[in-house]
Structure formats: structure tokens, C-alpha cells
């Protein structure tokens, strides 16, 4: 479902939010016409020789509402033993499978959101493991999760999406080095070729004193831009603050940058997405998302 803002009766500053954007002249309330599905897992079901430090990534067909995911929605087990895991959601992936850092990102490996199940401790070698996920996730536009596709297993009166895999016979000998995490500091977003580089036209209206967008987000002054983005705590259109440190999927800035599969603004985002004319290049999205995920540091 797409919800667009009507120009009538809405203050311009509220409608425009933060972007080089235009006010829509209509309001749409379309029902989601396709269900949400899990299209792939990494590792795939039945995989062998899986590293003992693996995470399990589930790729969804569309964007997932982060509010629909609970920390108890997944379980990792082997035989009768269960193991603690952490869950994280990438609204649109900003890493490769397994959290692999992207050095030259051109397109996401998954067209929708990615739910990662990360065991809190290294797995044992040469064992069969099973990751099970409850069908709680829903799409950003209200799409219902389809539990009739391959991978769903009936357990009594319940269904669970199940991924079974066997770990390699060789345990990890040393702790893996931390991956390069991408953008860490705000000022990096202004460097050569990055999204806020003053020489790029992509955000030029935020540097034009005669443009309303400039008054909403001043990218001509880094200190002002920092305050308007990182220090603003009020809830925005989608119910989330502009920046949620280390939770890029729960940050309105990310919601404003993304589009649905029809190229429209995400549900509840007033006005057009940013930038309004063409989708944001994927590499720029990765920069912004990794900066937020790394703590949105100055």
C-alpha cells in the first residue's frame, strides 16, 4: 500500500520533510496486491561445509516493517540443544550475505529486506544445525507473509521457516578480522564522489538559499546539517526519528531515500522520495546506511 501526501491542508515544511522533493497532489490508499515471501537463504537449506562462524540470512521479496520483528522470532538448534542468537534487519541490504562489506556496491544482492540470524557463539564443527523462524514478519506496506512457499515446515499446528545446514569439520582457528564497515564519520559523506559531495548535483537544492529544501536541510554547512540530521530526535512521518544510531532500518532518513518496487515513496513518507527525479544510486544508500549503522558518528 502506498500513502502519498495531499498538498491541501498540510504545512509545506511537514510535507517536504527533508529532501529535494515535491508535494504530491493526490493521496493513494492501495491494498498490497502481492504477499511477502522469503525468496532465498544464505546458506541455503541442505548446505554442507558451512563455516562455524556463519550467520543465516533470509532474503524477503519486499521491504519488511522492522516493527514486525521480535528478538524471539528465530531459534538456532542442533539436536535437542538450542543456542542463543541475535536478529538484525537490513531494510534494504547494505552488506553482502553474511555481513560482507561492499567495496564497490552496484546493486543489492536481495531485492527486499534481509533478516540475519547470528549465533552468539561459534558453532561446533561437523554438526547439523537448524534455524527456525516464526511467521511474524509483515511487509512495509502491510503485505502478509506467505507460509506456503518452499522452506516452511509444519510443526503440529504451527509453521516455521526452516534452514538446515552442516558445519565444516574444521573450526575457525582465529577470530575473523572485523570487516571494513564503510562510512564511519559524518564528514566522510561530503568527500569526493560521496552523496553530499558539493560538486554533485544530487542534493544541490539543499545548497540553494532560495530553495525551501535549503531551509529544511542545509548541506552548505556541515555543522548545521549534522544538527538537522543527527541531533533531531522527534518522530517523523514513519514514526521513527531522523537517525536511530546503529539501527539504520529504523531511521527516517533511510526511509526517505528508499522507494517501493513501483518507484514511489514508501508508505507513510510524505511527499516524494529523495532525490525526487531518479532513485538514489545504491552506493550512496550503502554509505548513508553504514554511517548510521556504525553509530552515526560526527
The candidate with the shortest Cα–Cα distance to 115, out of 35, 59, 45, 47, is 59
Least reliable range by pLDDT among 27-31, 94-98, 119-123, 259-263: 27-31
Instruction: With a cut of 80, say whether residue 212 has pLDDT above it.
Output: yes
Instruction: With a cut of 80, say whether residue 169 has pLDDT above it.
Output: yes
pLDDT given for residue 12 in this prediction: 39
**What residues form DSSP beta bridges with 6?**
none
pLDDT given for residue 176 in this prediction: 63
Q: What is the pLDDT of residues 20-43, one digit of tens each?
A: 554 444 444 455 678 999 999 999
Q: How far apart are CA 8 and CA 109, in angstroms?
A: 40
The candidate with the shortest Cα–Cα distance to 49, out of 199, 196, 167, 171, is 167
| Mean pLDDT along residues 196-204 | 92
Report in angstroms the alpha-carbon separations of 199 from 187, 195, 205, 277.
Answer: 15, 10, 12, 18
Architecture per CATH, domain 38-167, reads as Sandwich (2.60)
| Mean pLDDT along residues 235-256 | 97
| Mean pLDDT along residues 252-276 | 94
Q: Where in the chain is the domain with CATH 2.60.40.1220?
A: 38-167
CA atoms lying within 13 Å on the CB side of residue 95: 24
Q: How far apart are CA 26 and CA 40, in angstroms?
A: 36
High-pLDDT (> 70) share of the chain, %: 87
pTM listed for this prediction? 0.87
Q: How confident is the model at residue 180 (pLDDT cuts 50, 70, 90)?
A: low
pLDDT given for residue 183 in this prediction: 84
Pairing verdict, β 158-167 and 47-50: parallel
Instruction: With a cut of 50, say whether residue 252 has pLDDT above it.
Output: yes
Those residues whose C-beta lies under 8 Å from the C-beta of residue 265, and which sit 6 or more positions away, are: 2, 4, 256, 259, 271, 272, 273
Q: What is the pLDDT of residues 110-158, one digit of tens each?
A: 999 999 999 999 999 999 999 999 999 999 999 999 999 999 999 888 9
Least reliable range by pLDDT among 199-203, 250-254, 287-291: 199-203
Amino acid at each position: 500500500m502506498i500513502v502519498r501526501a495531499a498538498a491541501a491542508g498540510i504545512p509545506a515544511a511537514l510535507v517536504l520533510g527533508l529532501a529535494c522533493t515535491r508535494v504530491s497532489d493526490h493521496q493513494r490508499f492501495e491494498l498490497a496486491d502481492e504477499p511477502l515471501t522469503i525468496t532465498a537463504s544464505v546458506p541455503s537449506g541442505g548446505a554442507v561445509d558451512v563455516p562455524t562462524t556463519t550467520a543465516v540470512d533470509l532474503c524477503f521479496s519486499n521491504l519488511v516493517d522492522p516493527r514486525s520483528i521480535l528478538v524471539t522470532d528465530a531459534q538456532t538448534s542442533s539436536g535437542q540443544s538450542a543456542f542463543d542468537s541475535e536478529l538484525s534487519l537490513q531494510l534494504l541490504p547494505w552488506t553482502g550475505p553474511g555481513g560482507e562489506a561492499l567495496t564497490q556496491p552496484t546493486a543489492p544482492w536481495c531485492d527486499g529486506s534481509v533478516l540475519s540470524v547470528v549465533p552468539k557463539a561459534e558453532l561446533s564443527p561437523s554438526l547439523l544445525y537448524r534455524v527456525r523462524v516464526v511467521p511474524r514478519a509483515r511487509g512495509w506496506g502491510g503485505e502478509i507473509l506467505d507460509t506456503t512457499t518452499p522452506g516452511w515446515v509444519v510443526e503440529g499446528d504451527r509453521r516455521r521457516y526452516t534452514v538446515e545446514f552442516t558445519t565444516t569439520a574444521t573450526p575457525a582457528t582465529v577470530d575473523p578480522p572485523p570487516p571494513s564497515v564503510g562510512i564511519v564519520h559524518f564528514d566522510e559523506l561530503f568527500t569526493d564522489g560521496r552523496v553530499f559531495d558539493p560538486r554533485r548535483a544530487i542534493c544541490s537544492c539543499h545548497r540553494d538559499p532560495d530553495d525551501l529544501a535549503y531551509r529544511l536541510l542545509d548541506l552548505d554547512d556541515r555543522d548545521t546539517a549534522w544538527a538537522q540530521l543527527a541531533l533531531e530526535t522527534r518522530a517523523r512521518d514513519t514514526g521513527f526519528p531522523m537517525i536511530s544510531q546503529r539501527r539504520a532500518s529504523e531511521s527516517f532518513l533511510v526511509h526517505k531515500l528508499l522507494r517501493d518496487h513501483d518507484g514511489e515513496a514508501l508508505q507513510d513518507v510524505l511527499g516524494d522520495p529523495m532525490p525526487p527525479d531518479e532513485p538514489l544510486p545504491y552506493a550512496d544508500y550503502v554509505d548513508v546506511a553504514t554511517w548510521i549503522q556504525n553509530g552515526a558518528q560526527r
